[in-house]
Structure 1
């Protein structure tokens, strides 16, 4: 087996698409097909099940995938060791992120990282495309990401380690004409009959809110689900419900009022998650150091 074959196989396995793998590897699709065929011929088994609609892993492919990732990680570590001696950081950094990170300015972070390490190619995956924070965590454990900004209340799952970066309180956002708009603060019990705009289950701020209502023994009606914080404020502005959003996300807007909630734990955590089952690349370590500097 050649490293290029393993790289191609991992790309197809992760994209579940020959077209997607070709775009990722910057080659034509026929080259991907030929490389996979050569690898299957060398191993005397089919690694991928192909139909006109989809691509999936065979049993042999599922067995090979973690070994192929480990082999590519070992090669990356060898290259990193040489680059460290030569004073440079190279390769690809795969970062997962939420749609909002509170006080963390991700574009500024990535811009500074690019200036300091121009030889590193950065690939960004969003929570919306991966299946919220649980999807980002799964991508980490499967080796598809190097690190990820996640929001998962509680302890990290097996195979992942993380450290909390920031915590942002969630405020109740209501239209200016709402019955509670003139109040200085409210309790959860006063919101039981409201229609809520919120994120789907699996998103960190939704988990925080659901847990707070469950602890208070209250049920609530989530009428509209969104995947971007800005959209939540837009729906509230037009009178379609209320929302619990990170403090400051509604901005200075005369049509909206943001109110603190008393008697409930509505703190939204943001953590930086890294794989616990493999070593970090030099690029990932450099990015972590930059995050520390940013927070300081």
Structure 2
């Protein structure tokens, strides 16, 4: 059994697709299919059910996935453990990122890190399932660090704030609330809301704000990116709540402040269970240095 086989299996299992798994692993699909078939023969056990339109895990495959993730995380820690003994910092960092980093200029921070530590391989993981999935990945070791929209997490995770962004109402200029200088959350009781996917930190903040105001607006549209949300708003299908920084990109729409203030907080998540690698420490320091003033 080889680590590469485990990497390919985890990629296919998480993507639920051989083609997407191969793309994620940066190899041709035939190499992934061959490696996983060999792995199943070695184990004498079927791990993936290939019968349907989407790849699914067998019960044995689900059990094996957890151990495969753990093994890959342990291998990564072993590789990174020798980094302090090199003349220049090396190793790799698996960093989970969100669809938006708010006021944090993430590409600039990554560029500075690469200039300082050119031998460190940075692997970015941007998932549509957002904060909840990233926090779980930090706990199971498949991510070294993750940028998440959260202020609380389990005791297995350490959170450090990186940036904060007030939420705003995004609507058309001709919307009944578009001319207001500020709106109250309760004003949205009769509105149709374009909301974000379950697991996103922004979804939790929005749901909590609605609950606190005692309202339950109609929310038939659930999306996983800001552009789609803005497009639905632009075409008169509803309003949306999002952080002020991404909302400011849609200059043809109105971004109206909200009362009481709802704050979207970007935090850096690391494991609280095990020491992180020197490369991950350096990456964390670089991201925290890049924090814009509060």
TM-score range, shorter chain: 0.7 to 0.9
Structure 1 window deviating more from structure 2 (244-253 vs 110-119): it is 244-253
- CA positional deviation for 1:150: 1.3
Q: Which residue of the other structure, out of 261, 270, 293, is the alignment partner of 1:274?
A: 270
SS of the residue 1:76 aligns to:
helix
For 2:100, the equivalent position in structure 1 comes to 100
For 1:259, the equivalent position in structure 2 comes to 256
Larger Rg: 1
For 1:176, the equivalent position in structure 2 comes to 173
Q: 1:265 to 1:114 in 2, by over 3 A?
A: same
1:172·1:244 contact (CA, 8 Å) conserved in 2? yes
Q: Which residue of the other structure, out of 133, 137, 140, is the alignment partner of 1:139?
A: 137
1:115-167 CA-partner distances (Å, limit 9, x unpaired): 33333333322231xx22212222333333222111135x2025322222222
Whether 1:162 aligns to 2:169 is no
Paired residues, number: 291
Whether 1:235 aligns to 2:250 is no
Q: 1:159 to 1:260 in 2, by over 3 A?
A: same
1:97·1:150 contact (CA, 8 Å) conserved in 2? yes
1:151·1:205 contact (CA, 8 Å) conserved in 2? yes
The equivalences for 1:84-99 within 5 A come to 84-99=84-99
* TM-score, normalised via structure 2 length: 0.80
2:131·2:148 contact (CA, 8 Å) conserved in 1? yes
2:169·2:240 contact (CA, 8 Å) conserved in 1? yes
1:155-181 CA-partner distances (Å, limit 9, x unpaired): 202532222222211112232223333
Whether 1:51 aligns to 2:54 is no
Question: What root-mean-square deviation, in Å, do the aligned CA atoms of Structure 1 and Structure 2 show?
Answer: 3.2
Q: 1:185 to 1:72 in 2, by over 3 A?
A: closer
- CA positional deviation for 1:270: 1.4
For 2:184, the equivalent position in structure 1 comes to 187
- CA positional deviation for 1:99: 0.9
Q: How far apart, CA to CA, are the structure 2 residues paired with 1:179 and 1:55?
A: 46
2:167·2:243 contact (CA, 8 Å) conserved in 1? yes
